[in-house]
Protein backbone atom coordinates (compact mmCIF):
# COMPACT_ATOMS: atom_id res chain seq x y z
CA UNK A 1 0.00 0.00 0.00
CA UNK A 2 1.51 3.37 -0.99
CA UNK A 3 2.29 6.05 1.58
CA UNK A 4 -0.03 9.04 1.71
CA UNK A 5 0.16 12.52 3.16
CA UNK A 6 -2.73 13.82 5.22
CA UNK A 7 -2.38 17.55 4.64
CA UNK A 8 -5.15 18.30 7.14
CA UNK A 9 -2.55 17.66 9.86
CA UNK A 10 -0.19 20.36 8.59
CA UNK A 11 -0.51 24.03 9.58
CA UNK A 12 0.57 26.42 6.83
CA UNK A 13 1.51 30.09 6.81
CA UNK A 14 1.48 31.77 3.38
CA UNK A 15 3.36 35.08 3.26
CA UNK A 16 2.56 36.93 0.05
CA UNK A 17 1.89 40.60 -0.74
CA UNK A 18 0.03 39.99 -3.99
CA UNK A 19 -3.60 39.09 -3.11
CA UNK A 20 -4.18 36.93 -6.20
CA UNK A 21 -0.94 34.97 -5.71
CA UNK A 22 -1.81 34.49 -2.03
CA UNK A 23 -5.32 33.31 -2.84
CA UNK A 24 -4.02 30.91 -5.48
CA UNK A 25 -1.57 29.34 -3.01
CA UNK A 26 -4.28 29.04 -0.33
CA UNK A 27 -6.70 27.45 -2.82
CA UNK A 28 -4.09 24.92 -3.97
CA UNK A 29 -3.25 23.99 -0.38
CA UNK A 30 -6.96 23.64 0.43
CA UNK A 31 -7.42 21.42 -2.62
CA UNK A 32 -4.72 19.00 -1.44
CA UNK A 33 -6.50 18.80 1.92
CA UNK A 34 -4.95 21.49 4.12
CA UNK A 35 -7.31 23.01 6.67
CA UNK A 36 -5.13 25.32 8.73
CA UNK A 37 -3.84 27.98 6.33
CA UNK A 38 -2.94 31.43 7.64
CA UNK A 39 -2.03 34.39 5.45
CA UNK A 40 0.26 37.36 6.01
CA UNK A 41 1.13 40.12 3.56
CA UNK A 42 4.45 41.12 5.13
CA UNK A 43 7.17 39.59 7.24
CA UNK A 44 6.34 41.56 10.40
CA UNK A 45 2.81 40.17 10.39
CA UNK A 46 4.21 36.71 9.66
CA UNK A 47 6.57 36.91 12.66
CA UNK A 48 3.67 37.96 14.89
CA UNK A 49 1.52 35.08 13.64
CA UNK A 50 4.29 32.56 14.24
CA UNK A 51 4.68 33.75 17.80
CA UNK A 52 0.90 33.62 18.39
CA UNK A 53 0.11 30.23 16.87
CA UNK A 54 1.95 27.08 15.83
CA UNK A 55 2.94 26.81 12.20
CA UNK A 56 4.40 23.72 10.49
CA UNK A 57 5.40 25.05 7.06
CA UNK A 58 5.99 28.62 5.86
CA UNK A 59 5.62 29.47 2.17
CA UNK A 60 6.94 32.95 1.50
CA UNK A 61 7.58 35.29 -1.42
CA UNK A 62 10.90 37.18 -1.37
CA UNK A 63 9.30 40.52 -2.28
CA UNK A 64 6.88 41.54 0.45
CA UNK A 65 5.08 44.68 1.47
CA UNK A 66 6.56 46.51 4.45
CA UNK A 67 10.18 47.14 5.33
CA UNK A 68 11.50 43.60 5.39
CA UNK A 69 11.59 40.84 2.81
CA UNK A 70 11.02 37.11 2.68
CA UNK A 71 14.77 36.64 3.14
CA UNK A 72 14.59 38.67 6.37
CA UNK A 73 11.82 36.33 7.47
CA UNK A 74 14.03 33.29 6.82
CA UNK A 75 16.82 34.99 8.77
CA UNK A 76 14.40 35.56 11.68
CA UNK A 77 13.27 31.93 11.67
CA UNK A 78 16.78 30.47 11.52
CA UNK A 79 18.71 32.92 13.69
CA UNK A 80 16.55 35.05 15.97
CA UNK A 81 16.27 34.33 19.66
CA UNK A 82 12.56 35.11 19.20
CA UNK A 83 12.15 32.44 16.54
CA UNK A 84 9.41 30.01 17.52
CA UNK A 85 11.19 27.12 15.78
CA UNK A 86 14.60 27.36 14.15
CA UNK A 87 13.94 24.12 12.26
CA UNK A 88 10.70 25.36 10.68
CA UNK A 89 10.54 24.34 7.00
CA UNK A 90 10.41 27.32 4.63
CA UNK A 91 9.57 27.28 0.92
CA UNK A 92 10.80 30.40 -0.85
CA UNK A 93 8.30 30.74 -3.71
CA UNK A 94 9.43 33.78 -5.63
CA UNK A 95 9.79 35.59 -8.92
CA UNK A 96 13.36 36.45 -7.85
CA UNK A 97 14.73 33.44 -9.62
CA UNK A 98 18.20 34.35 -10.82
CA UNK A 99 21.01 32.01 -9.83
CA UNK A 100 22.36 34.49 -7.29
CA UNK A 101 18.90 34.66 -5.65
CA UNK A 102 18.76 30.87 -5.35
CA UNK A 103 22.23 30.79 -3.79
CA UNK A 104 21.41 33.60 -1.35
CA UNK A 105 18.16 31.95 -0.29
CA UNK A 106 19.89 28.61 0.17
CA UNK A 107 22.69 30.17 2.20
CA UNK A 108 20.13 31.87 4.46
CA UNK A 109 18.63 28.46 5.20
CA UNK A 110 15.49 28.05 3.08
CA UNK A 111 14.34 24.45 2.92
CA UNK A 112 13.08 24.55 -0.67
CA UNK A 113 13.27 27.12 -3.46
CA UNK A 114 10.37 27.33 -5.92
CA UNK A 115 10.81 29.75 -8.80
CA UNK A 116 7.74 31.59 -10.06
CA UNK A 117 5.96 30.98 -12.32
CA UNK A 118 5.51 27.65 -10.59
CA UNK A 119 3.58 24.55 -11.55
CA UNK A 120 1.25 22.66 -9.23
CA UNK A 121 3.50 19.63 -9.64
CA UNK A 122 6.60 21.61 -8.63
CA UNK A 123 4.89 22.88 -5.49
CA UNK A 124 3.57 19.43 -4.58
CA UNK A 125 7.00 17.81 -4.96
CA UNK A 126 8.50 20.33 -2.55
CA UNK A 127 5.74 19.74 0.00
CA UNK A 128 6.31 15.99 -0.23
CA UNK A 129 10.04 16.47 0.16
CA UNK A 130 9.60 18.59 3.31
CA UNK A 131 7.04 16.31 4.95
CA UNK A 132 8.04 12.81 3.89
CA UNK A 133 11.78 13.19 3.27
CA UNK A 134 13.07 15.80 5.72
CA UNK A 135 16.76 16.71 5.56
CA UNK A 136 19.35 16.90 8.32
CA UNK A 137 20.29 20.29 9.68
CA UNK A 138 23.78 21.73 9.75
CA UNK A 139 24.93 23.97 12.58
CA UNK A 140 28.28 25.67 12.02
CA UNK A 141 29.92 29.05 12.62
CA UNK A 142 28.75 30.33 9.27
CA UNK A 143 25.52 28.45 8.58
CA UNK A 144 22.43 27.14 10.27
CA UNK A 145 19.83 25.43 8.14
CA UNK A 146 18.93 22.31 6.17
CA UNK A 147 21.80 20.31 4.74
CA UNK A 148 22.46 21.93 1.36
CA UNK A 149 23.71 18.69 -0.15
CA UNK A 150 20.77 17.01 -1.83
CA UNK A 151 21.99 13.49 -2.45
CA UNK A 152 23.24 11.28 0.31
CA UNK A 153 26.15 9.54 -1.36
CA UNK A 154 27.28 6.39 0.44
CA UNK A 155 30.92 6.65 1.50
CA UNK A 156 33.35 3.89 2.37
CA UNK A 157 35.06 5.69 5.23
CA UNK A 158 33.89 7.15 8.57
CA UNK A 159 31.86 10.36 8.15
CA UNK A 160 33.88 12.99 10.01
CA UNK A 161 30.85 15.29 10.32
CA UNK A 162 28.75 12.60 11.99
CA UNK A 163 31.47 12.22 14.62
CA UNK A 164 31.47 15.99 15.22
CA UNK B 1 39.25 28.48 16.32
CA UNK B 2 36.30 27.68 14.11
CA UNK B 3 33.74 25.34 15.62
CA UNK B 4 33.25 22.06 13.77
CA UNK B 5 29.99 21.66 11.88
CA UNK B 6 27.33 19.75 13.75
CA UNK B 7 24.93 17.50 11.83
CA UNK B 8 21.49 17.42 13.41
CA UNK B 9 19.23 14.49 12.43
CA UNK B 10 16.23 15.43 10.26
CA UNK B 11 13.23 16.66 12.26
CA UNK B 12 10.55 14.03 11.62
CA UNK B 13 7.58 15.60 13.43
CA UNK B 14 5.70 16.38 10.19
CA UNK B 15 6.35 12.91 8.84
CA UNK B 16 5.00 11.32 12.02
CA UNK B 17 1.99 13.62 11.97
CA UNK B 18 0.94 13.44 8.35
CA UNK B 19 2.40 10.41 6.55
CA UNK B 20 0.20 7.33 6.75
CA UNK B 21 -1.28 4.54 4.63
CA UNK B 22 -4.97 5.44 4.85
CA UNK B 23 -5.83 9.10 4.38
CA UNK B 24 -4.66 11.83 2.05
CA UNK B 25 -2.85 12.08 -1.26
CA UNK B 26 -0.18 9.78 -2.65
CA UNK B 27 3.41 11.05 -2.54
CA UNK B 28 3.20 11.17 -6.32
CA UNK B 29 -0.02 12.77 -7.56
CA UNK B 30 -2.07 10.59 -9.86
CA UNK B 31 -3.23 12.07 -13.15
CA UNK B 32 -6.73 12.70 -11.80
CA UNK B 33 -5.43 14.24 -8.57
CA UNK B 34 -3.14 16.50 -10.57
CA UNK B 35 -6.03 17.55 -12.84
CA UNK B 36 -8.15 18.36 -9.81
CA UNK B 37 -5.50 20.58 -8.26
CA UNK B 38 -4.71 22.14 -11.63
CA UNK B 39 -8.40 23.05 -11.82
CA UNK B 40 -7.81 25.53 -8.98
CA UNK B 41 -5.32 27.37 -11.16
CA UNK B 42 -7.60 27.33 -14.16
CA UNK B 43 -10.50 28.71 -12.19
CA UNK B 44 -8.37 31.69 -11.08
CA UNK B 45 -7.18 32.40 -14.62
CA UNK B 46 -9.90 34.93 -15.50
CA UNK B 47 -9.14 36.91 -12.37
CA UNK B 48 -5.45 36.93 -13.29
CA UNK B 49 -6.20 38.28 -16.76
CA UNK B 50 -8.52 40.98 -15.39
CA UNK B 51 -6.11 42.11 -12.67
CA UNK B 52 -3.05 42.14 -14.88
CA UNK B 53 -5.03 43.98 -17.57
CA UNK B 54 -5.99 46.70 -15.07
CA UNK B 55 -2.44 47.06 -13.75
CA UNK B 56 -1.02 47.22 -17.26
CA UNK B 57 -3.58 49.86 -18.21
CA UNK B 58 -2.54 51.90 -15.16
CA UNK B 59 1.16 51.99 -16.04
CA UNK B 60 0.44 52.59 -19.72
CA UNK B 61 -1.58 55.69 -18.81
CA UNK B 62 1.30 56.87 -16.57
CA UNK B 63 3.71 56.12 -19.37
CA UNK B 64 1.93 58.20 -22.01
CA UNK B 65 2.83 61.65 -20.65
CA UNK B 66 6.22 60.86 -19.19
CA UNK B 67 9.50 62.23 -20.52
CA UNK B 68 13.15 62.17 -19.48
CA UNK B 69 13.83 64.28 -16.40
CA UNK B 70 10.22 64.23 -15.19
CA UNK B 71 10.21 63.95 -11.37
CA UNK B 72 7.52 61.27 -11.65
CA UNK B 73 9.91 58.86 -13.40
CA UNK B 74 11.08 57.36 -10.07
CA UNK B 75 7.55 56.38 -9.01
CA UNK B 76 6.81 55.17 -12.51
CA UNK B 77 9.85 52.87 -12.46
CA UNK B 78 8.73 51.50 -9.07
CA UNK B 79 5.32 50.73 -10.58
CA UNK B 80 6.93 49.09 -13.62
CA UNK B 81 9.11 46.89 -11.44
CA UNK B 82 6.13 45.84 -9.35
CA UNK B 83 3.85 45.06 -12.31
CA UNK B 84 6.57 43.26 -14.27
CA UNK B 85 7.47 41.10 -11.26
CA UNK B 86 3.80 40.18 -10.76
CA UNK B 87 3.38 39.22 -14.42
CA UNK B 88 6.70 37.37 -14.53
CA UNK B 89 5.72 35.43 -11.43
CA UNK B 90 2.21 34.45 -12.43
CA UNK B 91 2.01 34.39 -16.24
CA UNK B 92 3.52 30.95 -16.69
CA UNK B 93 1.46 29.44 -13.89
CA UNK B 94 -1.71 30.51 -15.70
CA UNK B 95 -0.53 29.22 -19.09
CA UNK B 96 1.03 32.45 -20.39
CA UNK B 97 4.80 31.79 -20.37
CA UNK B 98 5.34 34.40 -23.09
CA UNK B 99 3.87 37.05 -20.78
CA UNK B 100 6.31 35.88 -18.10
CA UNK B 101 9.26 36.03 -20.50
CA UNK B 102 8.50 39.58 -21.67
CA UNK B 103 7.82 40.72 -18.10
CA UNK B 104 11.17 39.21 -17.06
CA UNK B 105 12.92 41.17 -19.81
CA UNK B 106 11.22 44.35 -18.55
CA UNK B 107 12.00 43.60 -14.91
CA UNK B 108 15.66 42.82 -15.62
CA UNK B 109 15.91 46.05 -17.64
CA UNK B 110 14.46 48.31 -14.93
CA UNK B 111 15.76 46.45 -11.86
CA UNK B 112 18.54 48.89 -11.03
CA UNK B 113 17.20 52.05 -12.71
CA UNK B 114 16.79 55.23 -10.65
CA UNK B 115 15.93 57.30 -13.69
CA UNK B 116 15.43 56.70 -17.39
CA UNK B 117 16.47 58.35 -20.64
CA UNK B 118 13.99 59.00 -23.44
CA UNK B 119 15.26 55.90 -25.25
CA UNK B 120 14.89 53.74 -22.16
CA UNK B 121 11.34 55.03 -21.60
CA UNK B 122 10.60 54.06 -25.17
CA UNK B 123 11.94 50.53 -24.61
CA UNK B 124 9.73 50.22 -21.53
CA UNK B 125 6.69 51.35 -23.56
CA UNK B 126 7.43 48.72 -26.20
CA UNK B 127 7.45 46.05 -23.51
CA UNK B 128 4.13 47.30 -22.14
CA UNK B 129 2.63 47.33 -25.63
CA UNK B 130 3.82 43.75 -26.24
CA UNK B 131 2.34 42.58 -22.94
CA UNK B 132 -0.94 44.28 -23.81
CA UNK B 133 -1.10 42.61 -27.23
CA UNK B 134 -0.46 39.14 -25.79
CA UNK B 135 -3.05 39.71 -23.11
CA UNK B 136 -5.72 41.08 -25.44
CA UNK B 137 -5.16 38.36 -28.04
CA UNK B 138 -5.05 35.65 -25.36
CA UNK B 139 -1.79 34.16 -26.64
CA UNK B 140 -1.15 31.18 -24.40
CA UNK B 141 1.97 29.01 -24.51
CA UNK B 142 5.28 30.17 -25.92
CA UNK B 143 3.69 31.76 -29.00
CA UNK B 144 4.85 31.24 -32.58
CA UNK B 145 7.82 32.44 -34.60
CA UNK B 146 6.53 36.01 -34.66
CA UNK B 147 6.27 36.14 -30.87
CA UNK B 148 9.76 34.68 -30.47
CA UNK B 149 11.11 37.38 -32.80
CA UNK B 150 9.30 40.00 -30.76
CA UNK B 151 10.84 38.73 -27.52
CA UNK B 152 14.27 38.62 -29.15
CA UNK B 153 13.88 42.20 -30.38
CA UNK B 154 12.82 43.44 -26.93
CA UNK B 155 15.78 41.72 -25.29
CA UNK B 156 18.13 43.20 -27.89
CA UNK B 157 16.69 46.66 -27.25
CA UNK B 158 17.24 46.35 -23.50
CA UNK B 159 20.80 45.20 -24.05
CA UNK B 160 21.52 48.07 -26.42
CA UNK B 161 20.03 50.79 -24.22
CA UNK B 162 20.82 49.54 -20.73
CA UNK B 163 23.51 52.18 -20.31
CA UNK B 164 21.28 55.04 -21.34
CA UNK B 165 21.40 55.66 -25.13
Residue A164 predicted with pLDDT over 50: no
* Residue B83, min C-alpha distance to chain A (Å): 10
- Of A9-13, A28-32, B28-32, which range is least confident? B28-32
User: Region B122-132: what's the mean pLDDT?
Assistant: 96
**Given this model, what pLDDT does residue A136 score?**
95
Contact B19 A4 (CB under 8 A): yes
- Helix B73-91 to helix A19-32 angle, to the nearest 10 degrees? 20
Torsion of CA B59, B64, B66, B67, to 10 degrees: 130
Residue B147 CA: distances (Å) to CA of A62, B134, B150, B164: 30, 9, 5, 26
Which chain B residue has the Cα nearest residue A9? B18
pLDDT digits (tens, 9 = 90+) for B23-52: 999 999 999 999 999 999 999 999 999 999
Residue A160 predicted with pLDDT over 60: no
In a domain, A1, yes or no: no
Contact A134 B12 (CB under 8 A): yes
Question: What's the CATH number where A29 sits?
Answer: 3.40.50.2300
**Given this model, what pLDDT does residue B59 score?**
95
With contact defined as beta carbons under 8 Å apart, do A124 and A114 qualify?
A: no
Residue B22 predicted with pLDDT over 50: yes
Considering only CB atoms, which chain B residues are within 8 Å of A119?
93
Contact B5 A164 (CB under 8 A): yes
Considering only CB atoms, which chain A residues are within 8 Å of B142?
none
Residues with Cβ within 8 Å of A77's Cβ and at least 6 positions away in sequence, in order, are A50, A58, A83, A85, A86, A88, A90, A109
Q: Dump the DSSP string for A62-89.
A: SS-BSS--HHHHHHHHHH-TT-S-TT--
Q: Dump the DSSP string for B6-73.
A: EEEPPP-HHHHHHEESSSSEESS--HHHHHHHHHHHHHHHHHHHHHHHHHHHHHHHHHHT--TT-TTH
Say how far apart CA A45 and CA A67 lie, in whole Å: 11
CB pairs under 8 A between A and B: 156
State the pairing for strand pair A11-15/A36-40. Answer: parallel
Contact B15 A131 (CB under 8 A): yes
pLDDT digits (tens, 9 = 90+) for A84-105: 999 999 999 999 989 999 999 9
pLDDT digits (tens, 9 = 90+) for B133-163: 999 998 888 888 888 888 999 999 998 888 8
pLDDT digits (tens, 9 = 90+) for B67-126: 888 889 999 999 999 999 999 999 999 999 999 999 999 999 999 899 999 999 999 999
Contact B92 A116 (CB under 8 A): yes
User: Region A46-65: what's the mean pLDDT?
Assistant: 94
Residue B123 or A164, more confident: B123
* Cβ neighbours, 10 Å, residue B17: 15
For the segment(s) B37-161, the CATH number from 1.10.1330.10, 1.20.120.1200, 1.20.140.10, 1.20.120.160 is 1.20.120.160
**Given this model, what pLDDT does residue B1 score?**
63
Burial (Cβ within 10 Å: 0-12, 13-18, ≥19) of residue A142:
exposed
Contact B85 A63 (CB under 8 A): yes
Contact A137 B11 (CB under 8 A): yes
User: Region A127-147: what's the mean pLDDT?
Assistant: 95
Domain that holds residue A76: 7-163
Residue A149 or B19, more confident: B19
In a domain, A2, yes or no: no
Which chain B residue has the Cα nearest residue A114? B89
Which chain B residue has the Cα nearest residue A23? B44
Residues with Cβ within 8 Å of B12's Cβ and at least 6 positions away in sequence, in order, are A134
- Residue A1 banded pLDDT, cuts 50, 70, 90: confident
Say how far apart CA B47 and CA B90 lie, in whole Å: 12
Helix/strand/coil for A55? coil
* Residue A48, min C-alpha distance to chain B (Å): 22
- Residue B20 banded pLDDT, cuts 50, 70, 90: very high
Say how far apart CA B27 and CA A6 lie, in whole Å: 10
* Residue B158, min C-alpha distance to chain A (Å): 17
**Given this model, what pLDDT does residue A149 score?**
82
Considering only CB atoms, which chain B residues are within 8 Å of A41?
none
Which chain A residue has the Cα nearest residue B35? A120
Contact B18 A116 (CB under 8 A): no
Question: Which residue, among B124, B125, B118, B95, has the nearest Cα to A118 in the 3D structure?
Answer: B95
Say how far apart CA B165 and CA B158 lie, in whole Å: 10
**Given this model, what pLDDT does residue A163 score?**
46
**Given this model, what pLDDT does residue A142 score?**
92
Considering only CB atoms, which chain B residues are within 8 Å of A130?
14
Q: How many domains, chain A?
A: 1
* Residue B73, min C-alpha distance to chain A (Å): 21
Say how far apart CA B8 and CA B52 lie, in whole Å: 45
> What average pLDDT does the structure give for chain A?
91
- Residue A148 banded pLDDT, cuts 50, 70, 90: confident
Considering only CB atoms, which chain A residues are within 8 Å of B100?
117
**Sheet bearing A112-115, strands edge to edge:** A36-40, A11-15, A57-60, A90-94, A112-115
Amino acid sequence: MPEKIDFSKIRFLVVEANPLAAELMVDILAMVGAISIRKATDSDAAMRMMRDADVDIVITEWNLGGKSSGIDLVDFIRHSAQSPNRFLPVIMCTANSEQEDVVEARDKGVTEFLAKPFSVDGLYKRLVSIIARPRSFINSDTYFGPDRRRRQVPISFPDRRQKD
Amino acid sequence: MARKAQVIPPPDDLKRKAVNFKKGLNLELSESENRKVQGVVESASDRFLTEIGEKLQGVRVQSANLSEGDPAVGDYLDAIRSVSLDIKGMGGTFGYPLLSAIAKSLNDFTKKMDTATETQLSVIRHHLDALQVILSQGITGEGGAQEKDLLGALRAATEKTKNGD
